[in-house]
Amino acid sequence: MYKLTAYTIACLLISLDARSVPDNYNEERRALLDEETITAVGGKINLNEDENKANDVLMRWKMRELNDSYINPQHFNFSKHYFSYKKDIEDSKVYQIIRRMPKGAVLHVHSSLMLHADMLVKLTYEDHLYACHTYDDLKLQFSETTPERPCQSKWTLVSDMRNSSGDPAAFDSQLKKYFTLYREDGEDFNFVDINTVWQRFNKVYYVIKSLISYRPVREKYWYATLEQFYNDNIMYIEVRTGLHGLYELDGTQHDKKYLVELFKNVTNKFIEDHPEFIGVKLIVTKHRALSINQVFDALNLTRAVKAEMPDMIAGFDLVGQEDIGRPLTDFLPVLSEARNDINFYLHAGETAWLGTSADENLVDAILLGSKRIGHGYALTKHPSLMSAVIKKDIALEVNVISNVVLSLVHDVRNHPLASYLAMGLPVVLSSDDPGAWSARPLTDDFFVAFMGIASQRADLRMLKQLALNSITYSALEDEGKDRLFKVFSKRWDTFVKDIISDKSFSEIDFDRNID
């Protein structure tokens, strides 16, 4: 066997030292990286002088915080569940910057799960609210007299329960747990299977639905929701809703169209109070577990409401857990027939499986002409479908925190959004059901996407492009889009100047080694 002597090793080292990197290597390396930067979402945006200054502030804080997380992953680690670091993110300067940023529109959110749990608890202070309460279940109903609906325990006025508890604050804290999946005690959701999480999620939905089906409370709920979204710098919303009926205190029932009128009237009142808010459109939904006749009826309802209030209706979608729900192929006859007069915004590919009917909903969403695809989580596994999405310019409504909470992904750095952003796909960030996890309407999703998923090099250009995408791919008519672009531009300029002038963002040790 050949043995290396000390002399031979020295000669090899001298030979290696004598070698040099080809003259054009660094240029080619830089050219490849530059090409990736230009291809990525936001890569073609040119920042003006003020934007570059604001970007410098943003990126210095981003690199400092990322470096801190590398050194101290126990404090801030995107491989952990969102709930484990949720309380800490508000201390982040990057989070504070993003919170101030105008975000354009929210295009994927469900109407009953938009409002923070703290606000829902406040709504339980309304008069005449009864509760049917067991250890793991809660039903709510407003009534002049004790409700006649079956109850496993006993219908009791919530006001009486709160007053007799001896500690109203503790009572409200326990009540809040029925309105959100989030637990401050840090329960480890990483090891909860997807079906169990969905079961818990559905329980939260039904409790909230029982609270806001009372017409006066729904009005207050909707105004408070708009206010919460507006305060998160959102100027337009497209809301998915099943158009469930509402009732009055005397038991009078309203038809499903009444809810559309409520959305419109309360939104108009909100616009009077906040003139820069553009408005709301509805995407009518039906649960994918239901029959084809029920979906057919929902499509006809969508047609009828659109004919009466065309400014309020964006289109139609099927909702619910895809893995155990019926695939789009089951509804092809009625969906195909309706596609010429109703726009689709279909959930598709909200699954971690490959080759299943849920995964292949992506195929049908594309073929049915869906204007946008809800989630599209599985798209990276389908190169042909990804090409079709790019060619047809179908926007992907990505909901990062929802995908974490509902157990599609555990370490967000592995989220397919990283690929979508790098490839420059038409992505819009949304929040799905922020109230169900006590998140801010959109800031939390932007922050996690920017810090935990996007390239370390992603900067203000990406954030701006994502906001612009939400306007471009909205269902607004051209006039509405133009107005929203103008509002966004005005607010963006103000935001940039605020970041530059705010001394709390400039107080940083720039001598630290942060590349």
Distance of CA 236 to the CA centre of its chain: 14
pLDDT tens digits, residue range 407-446? 999 999 999 999 999 999 999 999 999 999 999 999 999 9
SS3 293: helix
Lowest mean per-residue pLDDT among 186-190, 198-202, 252-256: 186-190
Distance of CA 359 to the CA centre of its chain: 20
Which residue among 375, 382, 397, 415 is the active-site one?
A: 375
The per-residue pLDDT of the chain, averaged, comes to 93
Does residue 515 register a pLDDT over 80? no
Does residue 386 register a pLDDT over 60? yes
Q: What is the mean pLDDT of residues 365-389?
A: 97
* Residue 45 DSSP symbol: P
Label residue 182 exposed, middle or buried (CB < 10 Å: 0-12, 13-18, 19+). buried
Catalogue all structural domains in the chain, each as residue range(s) with its CATH number: 89-115+225-498 (3.20.20.140), 127-176 (no CATH)
Does residue 511 register a pLDDT over 80? no
pLDDT tens digits, residue range 394-403? 999 999 999 9
- pLDDT for residue 183: 86
Q: What are phi and psi of 166, to 5 degrees?
A: 85, -15
User: Token digits for 219?
Assistant: 């009005």
- Which residue from 445, 448, 411, 416 is spatially nearest to 431, judged by alpha carbons? 445
Catalytic residue flag (residue 110): no
Q: How far is 326 from 197, CA to CA, in rounded Å?
A: 19
Q: What are phi and psi of 356, to 5 degrees?
A: -90, 170
Q: Give residue 513's pLDDT band: very low, low, confident or very high (50, 70, 90).
A: very low
SS3 369: coil
The model's pTM: 0.93
From first CA to last CA, the distance across the chain in angstroms is 47
User: Token digits for 113?
Assistant: 């799960």
Which residue among 51, 322, 350, 397 is the active-site one?
A: 350
Catalytic residue flag (residue 51): no
